[in-house]
Amino acid sequence: MDKNPYDILGVDKSASDAEIKSAYRKLAKKYHPDLNPDNKDDDVRFKDISAAYDFLKDKDRRAAFDRGEIDMQGQPQWSKGAQEAYGKERQYYRDFAESPQGTRYSAYGNNINPEDIEDILGSMFGRKTYGGGFDDIFKQQQSLDVHYRLDVDFMEAALGAEKQITMPDGKKLKIIIPEGVKDGQKLRLKNKGREFPDGHQGDAYIEIHIKPDKIFTRKRNDIYTEIPIAINEAILGSTIEVETIHGFVKVKIPKATDSGKRFRLKGKGIKGGNHYVDVQIVMPDKIDEDLEKFMTEWAKKHSYNPRKVKVKREKSA
């Protein structure tokens, strides 16, 4: 995308986010390749439209572009004078740090007085650097950082994984997803962003988004699941297999287990967390004659009513 993104979408620089989005939808619908499969020009136009919209909907990139700090590719746009001034400041500071006068400061800069640096560089450029030079450089550093959203599966986040993303220059980059990474957590890849004019690079930040799982629910490092059991398993007791993030384990269901009973599987969660299993009694799809007859006879012999038992327990408490 070499053209101005505003020109591609046909909007003014002052256009609101809603106006930009509306313009994109109209053009995307008009030039979509599926509607014009034989027109290669429309395919190129559609790609430019999509790239322009992706660029302008990013508020930070749009603001940096409007200020003239980056071009349409997101690369820094420093004037020749700004580059020379930046290089002179860096060189002057290096020379000062290596001079006898500079040796009175810590080698790691722990004891540097910002006011002294302001005076040193200010005398050279006739201004205060903090609030000008270094602050501007810091803003340039921020504009050279790149940000990605990476969707990972529940199991990849729980156990850790290795993923691959494509950088702006087309290079493939492997990313190690740490075990137990949290939703929304950001991973920093140092010096993997865009380049400064002098070769220094910004950083890449990867924001992790975890896809929901059909079986598991996570709370911190604990895992929760609901497991259906049959009425005979609840009454007579049973041993069932339960899936955890570490594989299947056997769980003993004691006799007379209520629906909603929770069992703890110690250490079967994330990074030593626990796995909690809530059992739910599920009735058969069809009650056959044998079960119906048995339950009828059982009800005649017993006066058990769980609602009355519950009320009695609450009153006695």
The predicted model scores a pTM of: 0.51
pLDDT at 123 (0 to 100): 41
CATH architecture for the domain at 5-57: Orthogonal Bundle (1.10)
Q: What is the residue-wise DSSP string for 14-63?
A: T--HHHHHHHHHHHHHHH-TTT-TT-HHHHHHHHHHHHHHHHHTSHHHHH
Position 152 pLDDT exceeds 60: yes
Pinpoint the residues of the chain covered by CATH 2.60.260.20. 145-210, 217-316
What value does the mean pLDDT of the chain take? Answer: 77
Based on the number of CB atoms within 10 Å of its own CB, is 111 exposed (0-12), middle (13-18) or buried (19 or more)? exposed
Could you report the per-residue pLDDT of 199-219, keeping only the tens digit for each?
677 888 889 999 999 999 999
Pinpoint the residues of the chain covered by CATH 1.10.287.110. 5-57
pLDDT at 249 (0 to 100): 94
pLDDT at 160 (0 to 100): 93
CATH architecture for the domain at 145-210: Sandwich (2.60)
Q: Tokens for 11, please give them.
A: 């909007």
Distance CA 46, CA 270 (A): 45
DSSP H or E segment with residue 112: none
Q: pLDDT > 70: what percent of the chain?
A: 68
pLDDT at 136 (0 to 100): 46
Distance CA 95, CA 173 (A): 37
CATH superfamily of 217-316: Urease metallochaperone UreE, N-terminal domain (2.60.260.20)
pLDDT at 118 (0 to 100): 42
Based on the number of CB atoms within 10 Å of its own CB, is 194 exposed (0-12), middle (13-18) or buried (19 or more)? buried
For β-strands 186-189 and 238-244, DSSP reports them as unpaired
pLDDT at 315 (0 to 100): 53
Q: What is the mean pLDDT of residues 33-53?
A: 77
Could you report the per-residue pLDDT of 77-118, keeping only the tens digit for each?
655 555 555 555 555 545 555 555 444 333 334 444 444 444
Eight-state DSSP code of residue 163: E
Q: Range with the lowest mean pLDDT among 8-17, 29-38, 204-213? A: 29-38
Q: What is the mean pLDDT of residues 55-81?
A: 75
Contact 50, 44 (CB under 8 A): no
**Does 38 or 257 have the greater pLDDT score?**
257
Q: pLDDT-based confidence at 154, cuts 50/70/90? A: very high
**Does 194 or 157 have the greater pLDDT score?**
157
Contact 157, 177 (CB under 8 A): yes
pLDDT at 233 (0 to 100): 93
pLDDT at 71 (0 to 100): 75
Q: pLDDT-based confidence at 277, cuts 50/70/90? A: very high
Distance CA 145, CA 149 (A): 14
